[in-house]
């Protein structure tokens, strides 16, 4: 008996599958080409990176990465010749350009700032979001609907619309250019998303689980910790990725509010300037490294992410 | 184990009164069933005994102790939920041991108690399995295991067989009763299924619209329904009602229904003239052409040893349960003879049963209000 015949009302037809496949492949190509371009550029030499017509095949070089992580000074060939043998790949690469490495660049500290601020704010947003979502889901909160709408309303404008008031507030409060300030800001932006997403997930968990645990001798908090949280992990993971992606990629506030010690990678990367203009291989190298944590996180949690995206589409 | 005493219990959700003034006592070791249609307040009552809802008024005593406002975890009770509420992230062993863990019991002791409980329920071979792969009956047993492992004061069960297949259900009804006979735990069991209630209960409370209509043994409830609602809710098919008018005086021995004199159990109270109803169980009807009470056969339902015959009378259709051998054709006119000793008389307005000879051997049974 053939249930998968062309007349099936459930299974998609071969034609619609082919059309869908073509669209997906085309979309994937469009999205992935810029990434591949950046990845390739990060391994080019500065002249190759601005060659016209663009070079598809080229001699790979680590110059971009060397320049990203170091600051260099120009020296006379006589001085460079007077030095001993090169101590590493980067040393050798920069000497060819009549330069010596003067010290580490600011990239690593900026990258670490990004990690601290993005993960810190994600943790805060998910933590607060989970507790509030649980509260909204299980208790009779007075004006719950209005409060939830109010929480959601903070997302109805682009966050940058409040950039100037926040800039002034942060300056008064001494939060400008601090990691704490950025964590607070990203948490505030993300917590509304976290509450709404997580409320949906927690609503789906029958309250009998906590009730059973509470009858069996646990306090509400213990019951929440031992029975609700383990079942909400999918939702929490999905929410965490969304929050992390936002905080990690955020450029506008970071550019406005951080300039020195707390500067994150997004505003830093475009400021990498080489001799005689933008050092494109170094910018590309910075971007490539910047992509890695999100890439790893997303691949690890892709199933949860997918569930987060399709959330609400399928109800039992 | 302990006695459960419920006094003037009341619960309102805003304007809606879910439970009004309930009073009952579940004696130590008794299997008590709360029976009623959905929305009658039986689950709300159970949840108040458990401490999952707080009453609007009244008192709940467990083993003589007032626990009305205590938290669920301080009441030492166990609850079996309709959907079992087995924790999907734990295996069978951890699920059953979960209540013991809350008491801070040492691991070795938990292990021993869990294994002992599993053996009692014949699920010891499933201990290391994930609960999500279990069949309905086994999930039910795990849920029971989690309830009995702690040896609580009493068990509360909220339609625990509601989601099982009929086949499993009959098996579990038997198992539950057998388990109860072995451990003699005070049990409150909520269901809308009269078969479950009749076959398991020591005592039944029939609820409707938040009111306990009758409290008594299954036999009392079946033989001496306190109200027309109970008479109609219990029994399959339910009790038939034939209307008649006029008052009744103490000592009366017959009533006139559709022009026919019908002997009834001796009336023990005076009733002012009003709309009345005579209640007859289907099995207390015989066909007898000498009877003045007549009707026409409307249809039959063959059940093997008996058949249910619908008879159209002047006062609507009534159903009789008669031996399967009797040959009947739709349209045939038959006379109906009623088993006088087993009839109930109700006042239609209040729905309450009139006190008669059948109540002599027992108390009226209706839950005392007030």
pLDDT (tens digit, 9 = 90+) per residue, B129-145?
Answer: 888 888 888 888 899 89
Predicted ipTM? 0.81
- The contacts found for A79-86 with CB under 8 angstroms, 24 or more apart, are none
Measured between alpha carbons, how far is B249 from B239 in angstroms, rounded to an integer? 24
Q: Does B79 touch chain A (CB under 8 A)?
A: yes
Measured between alpha carbons, how far is B87 from B95 in angstroms, rounded to an integer? 6
Residue A122 belongs to a domain: yes
Would you say residue B108 has pLDDT above 80?
yes
Would you say residue B254 has pLDDT above 70?
yes
Per-residue model confidence (pLDDT) at position B164: 79
Query: Span B40-50, mean pLDDT?
Result: 93
pLDDT mean across residues, chain B:
89
B78 to A206: CB separation less than 8 angstroms, yes or no: no
Query: Span A292-311, mean pLDDT?
Result: 77
For B262, counting Cβ atoms within 10 Å of its Cβ (0-12 exposed, 13-18 middle, 19+ buried), the class is buried
Which residues fall within 8 angstroms of residue A276, CB to CB, at 6 or more apart? none
How confident is the model over B316-358, as pLDDT tens digits? 899 999 999 888 889 999 999 999 999 999 999 899 999 998 8
Query: Span A80-88, mean pLDDT?
Result: 83
Per-residue model confidence (pLDDT) at position A156: 86
B79 to A222: CB separation less than 8 angstroms, yes or no: no
Would you say residue B370 has pLDDT above 50?
no
> A218 CA to chain B: closest CA distance, Å?
6
A218 to B102: CB separation less than 8 angstroms, yes or no: yes
Same domain, A86 and A224: no
> Closest partner residue to A212 among B51, B75, B85, by Cβ?
B85
> Closest partner residue to B52 among A209, A211, A227, by Cβ?
A211
> A308 CA to chain B: closest CA distance, Å?
20
The string of DSSP letters for A58-125 reads ----SHHHHHHHEEEEE--HHHHHHS-S--SHHHHHHHTTTEEEEEE-SHHHHHHHHHHHHHHHHHHH
Would you say residue B367 has pLDDT above 80?
no
Would you say residue A152 has pLDDT above 90?
no
Measured between alpha carbons, how far is B6 from B24 in angstroms, rounded to an integer? 5
Confidence of residue A72 (pLDDT cuts 50, 70, 90): confident
Residue A231 belongs to a domain: yes
Same domain, A97 and A213: no
Whether A188 and A150 have beta carbons less than 8 Å apart is answered as: no
Confidence of residue B66 (pLDDT cuts 50, 70, 90): very high
Among A81, A105, A129, residue at a domain's last position: A105
Would you say residue A121 has pLDDT above 60?
yes
Interface test with A, best of B87, B95, B101, B146 (most A CBs within 10 A): B87
Residue A217 belongs to a domain: yes
pLDDT mean across residues, chain A:
87
Same domain, A97 and A235: no
Per-residue model confidence (pLDDT) at position A234: 84
Same domain, A211 and A187: yes
Q: Does B54 touch chain A (CB under 8 A)?
A: no
Measured between alpha carbons, how far is B290 from B334 in angstroms, rounded to an integer? 9
Among A85, A105, A125, residue at a domain's last position: A105
Which residues fall within 8 angstroms of residue B56, CB to CB, at 6 or more apart? B10, B11, B12
> Closest partner residue to A214 among B73, B81, B88, by Cβ?
B73
The first and second tokens of residue B294, run together, are 């007549």
Query: Residue A20 — left, alpha, or beta (φ > 0 → left; ψ -120 to 50 → alpha)?
Result: alpha
| Percent of chain B with pLDDT strictly greater than 90 | 59
Strand pairing class (B77-80; B154-158): parallel
Same domain, A101 and A242: no
Q: For B157, which residue in chain A has the nearest alpha carbon?
A: A212
- CB < 8 Å to B50, chain A: 211, 215
CATH number of the structural domain spanning residue A255: 1.10.3720.10
Measured between alpha carbons, how far is B325 from B92 in angstroms, rounded to an integer? 52
- CB < 8 Å to B163, chain A: none
Same domain, A259 and A297: yes
How confident is the model over A61-71, as pLDDT tens digits? 998 999 899 88
Q: Does B50 touch chain A (CB under 8 A)?
A: yes
A·B CB contacts under 8 A: 53
Q: Which of residues 193-232 of A touch B (CB under 8 A)?
A: 206, 208-209, 211-219, 222, 227, 230-231
Among A80, A105, A130, residue at a domain's last position: A105
Per-residue model confidence (pLDDT) at position A46: 87
Same domain, A180 and A132: yes
Which one has a higher pLDDT value, A122 or B258? A122
Would you say residue A313 has pLDDT above 70?
no
How confident is the model over B265-316, as pLDDT tens digits? 999 998 888 899 999 999 999 999 888 899 999 999 999 999 999 999 988 8
A218 to B87: CB separation less than 8 angstroms, yes or no: no
Confidence of residue A275 (pLDDT cuts 50, 70, 90): low
Residue A282 belongs to a domain: no
Residue A238 belongs to a domain: yes
Whether B186 and B148 have beta carbons less than 8 Å apart is answered as: no
> B97 CA to chain A: closest CA distance, Å?
10
Q: For A232, which residue in chain B has the nearest alpha carbon?
A: B89
Same domain, A305 and A171: yes
Per-residue model confidence (pLDDT) at position B1: 65
Q: Does B78 touch chain A (CB under 8 A)?
A: yes
B81 to A217: CB separation less than 8 angstroms, yes or no: no
Same domain, A145 and A244: yes
> A202 CA to chain B: closest CA distance, Å?
15
Same domain, A78 and A112: no
Would you say residue A117 has pLDDT above 60?
yes
Query: Span B231-244, mean pLDDT?
Result: 93
Interface test with A, best of B62, B73, B117 (most A CBs within 10 A): B73
Cis before B237? omega within 30: yes
- CB < 8 Å to A213, chain B: 98, 102
Q: For A231, which residue in chain B has the nearest alpha carbon?
A: B89
Residue A9 DSSP class: S
Confidence of residue B150 (pLDDT cuts 50, 70, 90): confident
A216 to B83: CB separation less than 8 angstroms, yes or no: no
- CB < 8 Å to B87, chain A: 209, 227, 230
Please tell me whether residue B94 adopts helix, strand or coil conformation.
helix
> B346 CA to chain A: closest CA distance, Å?
41
Would you say residue B365 has pLDDT above 60?
no
Interface test with A, best of B13, B47, B89 (most A CBs within 10 A): B89
Per-residue model confidence (pLDDT) at position B353: 93
Task: Give residue A190's domain range.
Answer: 108-267+293-309
Whether A309 and A295 have beta carbons less than 8 Å apart is answered as: no
Residue A157 belongs to a domain: yes
Please tell me whether residue A46 adopts helix, strand or coil conformation.
helix
Measured between alpha carbons, how far is B240 from B313 in angstroms, rounded to an integer? 11
Nearest to B316 by CA among B257, B268, B360, B361: B257
- CB < 8 Å to A139, chain B: none
Structural domain total, chain A: 2
Q: Does B77 touch chain A (CB under 8 A)?
A: yes
> B87 CA to chain A: closest CA distance, Å?
7
Same domain, A75 and A194: no
Residue A178 belongs to a domain: yes
Per-residue model confidence (pLDDT) at position A108: 93
> B311 CA to chain A: closest CA distance, Å?
46
Residue A228 belongs to a domain: yes
Q: Which of residues 149-178 of B touch A (CB under 8 A)?
A: 150
Strand pairing class (B344-347; B276-280): antiparallel
Please tell me whether residue B279 adopts helix, strand or coil conformation.
strand
- Around Cβ B104, how many Cβ atoms within 10 Å? 7
The first and second tokens of residue B241, run together, are 């009602």
Domains along chain B with CATH numbers: 4-223 (3.40.50.300), 228-359 (2.40.50.140)
Query: Span A187-206, mean pLDDT?
Result: 91
B150 to A211: CB separation less than 8 angstroms, yes or no: no
Residue A226 DSSP class: I
Q: Does B73 touch chain A (CB under 8 A)?
A: yes
Per-residue model confidence (pLDDT) at position A2: 46
Would you say residue A276 has pLDDT above 70?
no
The first and second tokens of residue A161, run together, are 């619309």
Interface test with B, best of A211, A216, A221, A226 (most B CBs within 10 A): A216
Query: Residue A144 — left, alpha, or beta (φ > 0 → left; ψ -120 to 50 → alpha)?
Result: alpha
Measured between alpha carbons, how far is A233 from A80 in angstroms, rounded to an integer? 58
Q: How far is the CA of B357 from the CAs of B10, B252, B269, B340, in angstroms?
A: 34, 10, 10, 11
Same domain, A137 and A178: yes
> Closest partner residue to A218 among B73, B77, B89, by Cβ?
B73
Would you say residue B364 has pLDDT above 90?
no
Confidence of residue B163 (pLDDT cuts 50, 70, 90): confident
């Amino acid at each position: 008996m053939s249930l998968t015949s062309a007349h099936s009302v459930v299974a998609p037809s071969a034609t619609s599958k082919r059309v869908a496949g073509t669209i997906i492949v085309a979309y994937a190509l469009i999205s992935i080409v810029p990434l591949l371009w950046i990845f390739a550029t990060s391994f080019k030499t500065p002249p190759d990176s601005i060659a016209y017509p663009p070079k598809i095949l080229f001699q790979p070089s680590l110059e971009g990465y060397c320049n990203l992580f170091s600051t260099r000074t120009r020296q006379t060939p006589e001085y460079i010749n007077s030095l001993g043998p090169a101590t590493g790949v980067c040393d050798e690469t920069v000497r060819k350009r009549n330069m010596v490495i003067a010290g580490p660049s600011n990239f690593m500290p900026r990258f670490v700032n990004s990690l601290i601020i993005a993960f810190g704010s994600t943790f805060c947003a998910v933590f607060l979001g989970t507790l509030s979502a649980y509260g909204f889901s299980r208790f009779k909160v007075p004006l719950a609907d209005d409060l939830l709408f109010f929480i959601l309303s903070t997302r109805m404008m682009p966050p940058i619309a409040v950039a100037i008031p926040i800039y002034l507030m942060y300056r008064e409060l001494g939060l400008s250019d601090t990691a704490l300030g950025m964590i607070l800001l990203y948490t505030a932006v993300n917590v509304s998303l976290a509450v709404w997403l997580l409320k949906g997930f927690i609503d789906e968990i029958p309250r009998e689980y906590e009730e059973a645990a509470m009858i069996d001798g646990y306090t509400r908090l213990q019951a929440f910790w031992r029975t609700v949280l383990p079942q909400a992990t999918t939702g929490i993971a999905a929410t965490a990725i969304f929050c992390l992606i936002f905080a990690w990629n955020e450029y506008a506030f970071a550019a406005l509010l951080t300039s020195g010690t707390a500067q994150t990678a997004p505003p830093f990367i475009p400021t990498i300037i080489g001799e005689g203009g933008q050092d494109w291989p170094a910018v590309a190298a910075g971007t490539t490294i910047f992509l890695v944590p999100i890439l790893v996180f997303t691949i690890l949690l892709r199933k949860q992410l997918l569930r987060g995206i399709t959330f609400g589409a399928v109800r039992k | 184990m302990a006695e459960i005493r419920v006094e003037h219990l009341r619960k309102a959700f805003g304007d809606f009164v879910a439970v009004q003034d309930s009073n009952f006592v579940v004696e130590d070791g008794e299997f008590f069933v709360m029976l009623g249609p959905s929305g009658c307040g039986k689950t709300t009552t159970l949840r108040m005994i458990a401490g999952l809802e707080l009453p609007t008024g009244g008192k709940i005593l467990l083993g003589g102790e007032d626990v009305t406002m205590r938290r669920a975890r301080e009441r030492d009770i166990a609850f079996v939920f309709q959907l079992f509420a087995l924790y999907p992230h734990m295996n069978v062993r951890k699920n059953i041991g979960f209540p013991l863990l809350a008491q801070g019991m040492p691991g070795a002791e938990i292990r021993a108690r869990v294994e002992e409980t599993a053996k009692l329920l014949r699920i010891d071979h499933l201990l290391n399995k994930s609960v999500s792969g279990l069949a309905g009956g086994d999930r039910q047993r795990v849920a029971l295991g989690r309830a009995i492992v702690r040896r609580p004061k009493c068990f509360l069960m909220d339609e625990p067989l509601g989601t099982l297949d009929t086949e499993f259900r009959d098996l579990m009804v038997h198992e539950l009763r057998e388990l109860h006979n072995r451990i003699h735990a005070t049990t409150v069991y909520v269901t809308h299924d009269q078969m479950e209630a009749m076959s398991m209960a020591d005592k039944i409370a029939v609820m409707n619209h938040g009111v306990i209509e009758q409290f008594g043994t299954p036999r009392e409830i079946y033989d001496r329904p306190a109200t027309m609602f109970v008479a109609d809710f219990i029994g399959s098919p339910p009790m038939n009602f034939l209307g008649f008018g006029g008052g009744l005086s103490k000592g009366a021995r017959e009533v006139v229904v559709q022009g026919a004199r019908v002997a009834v159990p001796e009336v023990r109270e005076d009733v002012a003239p009003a709309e009345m109803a005579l209640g007859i169980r289907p099995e207390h009807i015989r066909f007898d052409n000498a009877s003045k009470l007549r009707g026409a056969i409307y249809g039959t339902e063959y059940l093997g040893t008996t058949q249910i015959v619908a008879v159209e009378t002047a006062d609507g259709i009534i159903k009789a349960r008669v031996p399967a051998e009797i040959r009947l054709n739709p349209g045939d006119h038959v006379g109906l003879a009623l088993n006088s000793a087993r009839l109930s008389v109700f006042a239609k307005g209040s729905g309450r049963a009139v006190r008669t000879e059948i109540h002599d051997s027992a108390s009226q049974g209706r839950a005392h209000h007030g």
